[in-house]
Amino acid sequence: MGPESLGFPLSSPASDPARVESPAPTFRDEVAPGDAAAVGALVSATGFFSAEESAIAVELVEDYLKRGRDSGYRFIFAKDAGRLAGYVCFGPIPLTRVSFDLYWIAVQPDLQRTGLGRRLLTMAEATARDLGGASMYVDTSSRAQYAPTRLFYRRLGYRLAAEFPDFYAPGDGKVVFVKRLTS
């Protein structure tokens, strides 16, 4: 099932008139061999993730390429002007019945604040809901660099579920958000 089958237009302006209009990307949920390298380059280009974190993002794509849907990962890719504009990786949380994790979401730096991240996350939520998901969980860092990220999730209806001080490193806690996908 592709994102366009979920009723999402392939291009539309962002809902907030103060935002820059979103590009007109194409979306797909199939994973192709070149996606691992493209995801690695995209995640690195954001400047938010360490080399180890970028390697994990690539590893998830490679795991999907080896095991397909048995990997537990789902992807939605946005392509614009011949490049990977953004992507989201999510999937059901092992040993749960209706909970999904948002593992990765990244958008090219020059396309951030255009509504593309919002569109990718909305598509991931709809797909999770269609697969029986009732909640989407997101883990992020408490570092100041991630303040815009945490605001992004709050604006999209996520609420704070838990905080773990010094989880990743001293001064770098884990912040967990959750959003109900069903009423």
Q: Three-state SS for 109?
A: helix
Domains annotated on the chain, with CATH: 25-180 (3.40.630.30)
Q: What's the pLDDT at 183?
A: 78
Angle at 139 between CA 40 and CA 171, to 5 degrees: 95
Looking at residue 27, its pLDDT comes to 98
Q: Please report the pLDDT score of residue 24 as a whole number.
A: 85
| pLDDT digits 0-9 by tens, 23-43 | 589 999 999 999 999 999 999
Exposure b/e, 61-97, CB count within 10 A at least 16 = b: bbbbeeeeeebbbbbbbbbbeeebbbbbbbbbbeeee
Residue identified by tokens 């061999």 is 33
Residues of the chain with pLDDT under 70: 1-23
- Residues paired with residue 130 on neighbouring β-strands, in sequence order: none
Residues 37 and 33: their CA atoms lie apart, in Å, by 8
